[in-house]
Amino acid sequence: EVEDLLTVDGQVFDSLVEAYVYCNEHHQHCNDYYDPVRDDDADSDSDDDSEADYDGATPELSQGEAGLEADLLYSRLRPGGDDLTCPASLDLGNRMLDRLYDWMRHVDKYKFSTTYWEEIKALYPADESINPAGLPLLGDLNAEQRAVYDVLVGHYQSILRGESPPPLEINLDGKAGTGKTSVILMASLEMIRIAEEAGEKDPVLRSAPTGVAAHLFLGRTLHSLLMLPIKGRNEDDVSPAHLTTLQAVFRFCKYLIIDEKSMVGLKQMGWIDKRLRQIFPAQADKPFGGISVVLCGDFHQLPPVGEKTLFSRYSPGDIAMTLNGRAAYRALGTTMRLTQVMRQAGEDIETSTFRTVLDELRANEVTKAGWLYLSKRVRNQLPPQEIATFDNAMRLYFRNEEGHRRSSQKDPGAAYGPPCHRRR
């Protein structure tokens, strides 16, 4: 009703003009492009504000926009179509509610220590110990998992017997849910046990490219463990002092196990190989400094950021460290593969169908049957009670601006919206 437009923020105005003036001063809205076109705009040569050259073709997409939905793509055909979201920026700090807020009462409210992270690390030290309670029993391993377990534990037992077996150089493949992490942790725990019985120290170091992956793997990040250079800076060789520290960390290490190999790039692999050769100079002529390396993961998962994947082909522009990384990766001469999914291990129709659809999605080969199965979760197929559970669920958006818009819709008066997640 027209009368409803006279009420803004609970305040009733005598005329639509007064309501509009108030709304214009206190709110931000998308440009609806209903205003008359000014003469200077009509004469402008800018392609952004003119439809004169539109020939009905689909707008060209930049890399990273290929996943936009059709309605967003065609919205670009309107004047000012580059702005897909409302607003392009929340302009935090410059909104009227920000300017009217009394910020002085927050001055010096929080004291920030220059040693904050050191204090937090000391307060919550990283725990890399393995809890056997969260692992399956040895008898519960399937044949593929048991083979990996036996190779690792058997190799270390050979070393403890005084033998000199060649280092393991294993590429361990396995899609999500096949139990790669579980079998590695079980083998690590057993190797620690037999090392203690022999009066030796823990011979295994575990690592991963990211902090989250390393935490779940009960290890450390590759950059932290090996003091790898950060992209764009500190790409010189490690200093003598740092090298001494690294050699102390790796003093008892005989096995380096790296998880999430899909996120390891060729250049980073080259640095891993080089750093291990520096740590073990007596075996600098051998791949990875002569220690055993197990590289685990699934190449169908996230790729490395800003680097070539380990399986990428040679190109003339490859730099020396990329070439070194390719040689190091190819030095992993043994491949072991886990194929049996344990995470969805049920054999009922629902579980087996879901497992099949996950495999189809992983390989980008979804069948009609899989599509129909997933279509059961389309919104208009769900009861109202279940639809309501999505009101406060985390949402994923293509762009930060879209997430900010959603945050503003949920809480228009908030100075800062809740964090949103970008699609990679």
368 falls in which pLDDT band (50, 70, 90)? very high
Q: How far is CA 298 from CA 232, 301, 303, 339, in A?
A: 28, 6, 10, 11
Secondary element (H or E) of residue 291: none
The confidence score (pLDDT) of residue 34 equals: 60
Are 226 and 269 a contacting pair, CB within 8 Å? no
Secondary element (H or E) of residue 241: helix 240-249
Q: How many CB atoms lie within 10 A of CB 176?
A: 14
Are 194 and 156 a contacting pair, CB within 8 Å? yes
Look up the pTM and report it. 0.65
Task: Specify the 3-state DSSP secondary structure of 297.
Answer: strand
What average pLDDT score do residues 184-190 get?
A: 95
Of 32, 42, 289, 323, the closest CA to residue 169 belongs to 289
What average pLDDT score do residues 143-153 get?
A: 96
Domain with CATH 3.40.50.300 in the chain: 132-338
Q: How many CB atoms lie within 10 A of CB 269?
A: 28
Secondary element (H or E) of residue 328: helix 320-330
5 falls in which pLDDT band (50, 70, 90)? confident
Residue 357 DSSP symbol: H
Architecture of the CATH domain 132-338: 3-Layer(aba) Sandwich (3.40)
Taken as a whole, the chain contains a residue count of 424
Rounded CA separation 211/207 (Å): 9
Q: What is the pLDDT of residues 16-70, one digit of tens each?
A: 888 888 888 887 776 665 666 555 544 444 444 444 444 445 445 554 445 444 5
Q: At what angle do helices 349-362 and 368-375 cross, to 10 degrees?
A: 120
CA atoms 151, 157, 158, 159: torsion sign: positive
Q: What is the pLDDT of residues 298-357, one digit of tens each?
A: 998 889 988 999 999 888 888 899 999 999 999 999 999 999 887 766 677 888 888 889
What average pLDDT score do residues 239-251 get?
A: 94
The confidence score (pLDDT) of residue 391 equals: 84
Are 9 and 26 a contacting pair, CB within 8 Å? yes
Say if residue 73's pLDDT is above 60. Answer: no
What average pLDDT score do residues 124-146 get?
A: 85
Rounded CA separation 410/281 (Å): 59
The confidence score (pLDDT) of residue 216 equals: 86
Secondary element (H or E) of residue 204: strand 204-208
226 falls in which pLDDT band (50, 70, 90)? very high
Full DSSP string of 128-176: ----GGGS--GGG--HHHHHHHHHHHHHHHHHHTT--PPPPEEEEEE-T
Residue 210 buriedness (CB in 10 A; 0-12 / 13-18 / 19+): middle
